[in-house]
């Protein structure tokens, strides 16, 4: 889950597992796997960075298989 802001400044939490793609038009538009589109204040690179950080935290400390 990542914290983002709508264009009106209101913050919300997005399940980044639902992101299908992100585009800049010049506003950042996130299209979800459900087909819903969300316009946010953050730049595309910021959304990508937040998603990468989330996934790193999610998988941090996951034990490796035996022999790895």
pTM: 0.83
Nearest to 28 by CA among 12, 15, 14, 44: 44
Per-residue pLDDT at 12: 97
Residue-wise pLDDT for 32-62, tens only, equals: 999 999 999 999 999 999 999 999 888 886 6
Q: Tell me if 55 sits within 8 A of 61, measured CB to CB.
A: no
Quick one: which H or E segment has residue 21? strand 19-24
What's the distance, CA 42 to chain centroid? Answer: 11
Residue listed under structure tokens 């819903």: 36
């Amino acid at each position: 889950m990542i914290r983002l802001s709508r264009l009106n400044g209101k913050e919300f939490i997005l399940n980044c597992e639902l992101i299908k793609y992100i585009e800049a038009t010049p506003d950042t538009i996130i299209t979800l796997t459900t087909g819903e589109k969300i316009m946010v204040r953050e730049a595309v690179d910021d959304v990508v960075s937040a998603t990468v950080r989330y996934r790193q935290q999610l998988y941090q400390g996951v034990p490796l298989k035996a022999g790895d």
